[in-house]
A and B are shown apart, each in its own frame.
Chain A
Amino acid sequence: MRVTLLKGVTATAALGVMVAACGSTASTSTGSSSGGSGASAGSPLVIAGVIAITGSSSFEGSNQAGGIYPAINQINGAGGVLGHKLVYKGVDTRGDPADALPAVQQLLATTSNLVLVAGPGTASAPTIVPVLNSASIPMTAVAGESSYNRSTYQYFWRLFPPDSANGTGMALWAQKKGYTRVATVFGTDSGSQGDLPGVLASLKALHMTLVSQLNITPDQPSYLSSVQKLMASNPQVIMTESDATTAGTFFGELKQLGGLKPIIGTEATFTAPWLTAVKGALGSAFLTDYTGMVTEPSQTTAAVTAFQNGVRASKAQVPPPWQSYLNNPFSITYYDGVVAVALAMEAAHSVNPKVFNSYISKVTNPAPGKTVVYTFAQGVAALKAGKQIQYFGATGTINFDKYHNSDGNQEAVQSDASFNPIPLGVVTAKQIAAVPVQGVA
């Protein structure tokens, strides 16, 4: 009996792994009639974070909290939005689209004062973006898929460059450094794979040689055969994205076997867990051999200072360590999303998403005669003075196109020992747009 039971469980698990690895996906389309803020005077408005809060991708939830709490605290400190305080409600997807959909449906059914959903990410966006759009809830997505480059979802907003832009920036930077032979090492998880097509298409467009393409299963005890295969292909540079544990193991083995080459990581690699793992694996080589490609600006602006002050003031609320959010591109993006939406509500004189949604780009996009503001308080003051405003965010200039995408420049950075970015150079959005990338959906 016990053997039968054990065999059943293990064989089921084995088949499950096989099916998952074969990359089957399922899409679900579910409508919802809920949505829109029916907030009574003075009642709090809800900013929901739909993100992995637990599970192996829980760092995503931490990154989000590290951006939203500073924004909410600053806005509430400035008197709130039209007399309403903002509150943050985390909705745990555990990184699984199957968990995301019911969580969002429950959110919509139970939350009447919902004005923004932050964070449909790569894994959950295909499932929940249509639902939120049908419910007329604005969302500030961090889903990098190029399929959203021409999004027709009215309530979808992306302050994050598409994955292909990040990949093109990496390829352009490698070309600038004189590299022609490139190896890619990407995890097979959906987040990492989402960035890979942009890298591959850009390498092809720039006529660079892809000597090895490794897609590795996350969290294996060893990658020795893959490491040796990579070494045998003799690349000049390695482009990569994977989860922190996988990266620590892979690059640790690569270094121990004497095959370490310069590494260019996607934006997702410039986060504290990944940098911690790889720094531990590479030792002193980490400071010189790793380059991250992140959204400009990495250097301090007035908006960045405001954000970082907000993080420091919120350190009791954000998941520890609070320092990890000071230069975290995801946290900064979430912060800007909340501030932009709050200013849109102020500009529209309404907390109803159907009314203020169209004001989001009006308070962010540059235009002649607009007053540039760097904080919510500055924006409210300018609006009350009857001026049109341009919110210049901690992510830099926010300029939404007609598809509600705001693509910025890419910046190559190294990391210091405390994971602060050291700017190396910029790849402009214009340079990226000039690369004839094809075949990326």
Chain B
Amino acid sequence: MFDTLISAVAFGVVLASVVAIGSMGFTIQFGLTNMLNLSYGGVMTAAAFVAYILVSHHVSAWLGLVVGGLFGAVMTLAMGVYVFRPYARRGAKLFELMMVTLGLGLVIDYGLQALSRNNIYQFTVLQSAPIHLGPVVITPTQVILAAIGLAVFIGLELLLRLSRVGKALRATAAEPSLARSCGIRTGRVVTVTWLLSGFLCGLAGVVYAIDSQSIGYSSGQTFLPLVIAAALLGGAGSPSGAVLAALAMGIVTQLVSALGQPAYSQVAGFAVLVIVLLARPGAVGGGHNAEAQVTV
């Protein structure tokens, strides 16, 4: 039994790594733009398809990962500049913008459905013997994905805390008008945010496809609830909170599966969200200015 639990925790860390990459991108964008971007899942899927096409043409999976991320960045920036910004300038409110993102996500999904002929594509990049770490049996691919998740987290934290761009981004997220009056070019900061969150979104899509070993037109939308839940649980704009939340949800879902109830694993993950929000509305990451903006 102890071995089973240890394995479940390890598998939860792997799952959390995949979820966390997407959640970090989502929370950065949401924390700064205030926009609940429901087209995020569609961009994840599109980026994963780009990587899949490259890998299926014998391009390195590493290059596919980077190109998938870059594709997500460009696509997200284009959507931000050419779709969301015009709507916002015409006075669209949060809910209206959310509906725009939802509609755009559906357009992307069904476009991909047509292009992919509604097929499921197998996306296996590394077939090698599993690694035995005590009671834990895990594949090299999963170890690599966990390492990618950790590297992205460290890189993002360093970027936000040590670089000028990161500081400007945090300042704009905290108080845009004050940041602007301090000389920060907030328009550029928003552009950087689109690129950064889009890159993480694309990266998450590719990592998800590699982890699940398959890709279909709705893969990203299927994954999106976990991403949003971890972003919310971690607190808006807090990558470290998103990572902690992803870890909690990942480990809980895998523990429930290991204890014999895989049908309820996702339910348990979302139960964590509901319970934490009830017990501590500020969520685990502190949520920077989130509590100040709660109006209920």
Chain A residues engaging chain B, CB cutoff 8 angstroms = 1-7, 9-11, 13-15, 17-18, 21-22, 54, 56, 58-59, 62, 188, 214-217, 219-226, 228-229, 232, 244-245, 248-249, 252-253, 256-258, 273, 276-277, 279-281, 283, 319-321
Judging by beta carbons under 8 Å apart, are B120 and A273 in contact? yes
Q: Are A256 and B225 in contact, with the CB atoms below 8 A?
A: no
Contact, CB under 8 Å: B7 / A228:
yes
Interface residues as binary, B196-231 with A (CB distance below 8 Å gives 1, 0 otherwise)? 000000000000100111101011001101101100
**Contacts A2-B94, A223-B257 given; does A11 touch B274 at CB 8 Å:** yes
Within 8 A of A (CB), among B237-273: 254-255, 257-258, 260, 262-267, 270-271, 273
With an 8 A cutoff between CB atoms, is B277 at the interface?
yes
Chain B contributes a number of interface residues (CB within 8 A of A) equal to: 70
Let me know if A1 and B293 touch, CB within 8 A.
Answer: yes
Q: Which 4 A-B pairs have the closest CB atoms?
A: A280-B122, A14-B270, A225-B257, A224-B11
List of B residues within 8 angstroms of A216 by Cβ = 262-263
The verdict on B130 contacting chain A, using a C-beta distance below 8 Å, is yes
CA gap between A146 and B21 in the complex, in Å: 45
Minimum distance in angstroms from B277 CB to a CB of chain A: 6
- New A-B pairs, 6, CB < 8 Å, besides A5-B95, A253-B139, A257-B130: A17-B266, A21-B264, A56-B218, A222-B14, A249-B213, A280-B214
Q: Does B186 contact A (CB under 8 A)?
A: no
* Contact B94 A5, beta carbon cutoff 8 Å: yes
- Complex Cα gap A13–B273 (Å): 11
Smallest Cβ distance from B196 to chain A, in angstroms?
19
Contact bitstring B1-31, A, C-beta under 8 A = 1, else 0: 0001001100100110011000000000010
Shortest CB distance B208–A (Å): 6
Q: Are A219 and B222 in contact (CB under 8 A)?
A: yes
Q: Say if the beta carbon of B117 comes within 8 Å of chain A.
A: yes
B273, A11: Cβ atoms closer than 8 Å:
yes
Contact of B11 among A4, A10, A219, A222 (CB under 8 A): A222
Q: Are A245 and B214 in contact (CB under 8 A)?
A: yes
Contacts of B7 in A (CB 8 A): 224-225, 228
Instruction: List B contacts of A222 (CB < 8 A).
Output: 11, 14-15, 18, 211-212
Q: Please determine whether A58 and B258 come into contact, CB atoms closer than 8 angstroms.
A: no
> What are the interface flags for B62-101 relative to A under an 8 Å C-beta threshold, 1 for contact and 0 otherwise?
0000000000000000000000000000000011001000
User: Smallest CB–CB gap between B232 and chain A, Å?
Assistant: 5
Q: A248-B122, A256-B141 are in contact. Are A21 and B130 (CB under 8 A)?
A: no
Chain B CB count within 10 A is highest, among A225, A319, A320, for: A225
Q: List 27 A-B contacts (CB under 8 A).
A: A1-B94, A13-B228, A15-B274, A17-B225, A21-B266, A54-B110, A54-B113, A58-B113, A59-B118, A188-B263, A216-B262, A217-B263, A217-B266, A221-B15, A221-B212, A222-B15, A224-B14, A226-B262, A228-B7, A244-B214, A245-B216, A248-B122, A252-B122, A276-B119, A279-B122, A280-B124, A281-B213
A248 touching B232 by the CB < 8 A rule?
A: no
Q: For residue B211, which residue of chain A has the nearest CB?
A: A221
Cross-chain contact A4 with B262 (CB below 8 angstroms): no
Known A-B contacts A18-B271, A21-B263, A277-B120; A245 and B36 likewise in contact (beta carbons under 8 Å): no
**Closest A residue to B254 using CB positions:** A225
Pair B11/A62 contact, Cβ less than 8 Å: no
B169 within 8 Å of A by Cβ? no
Contact yes or no, A221 B223, CB < 8 A = yes
Residues of B within 8 A of A277 (CB): 120, 122, 214
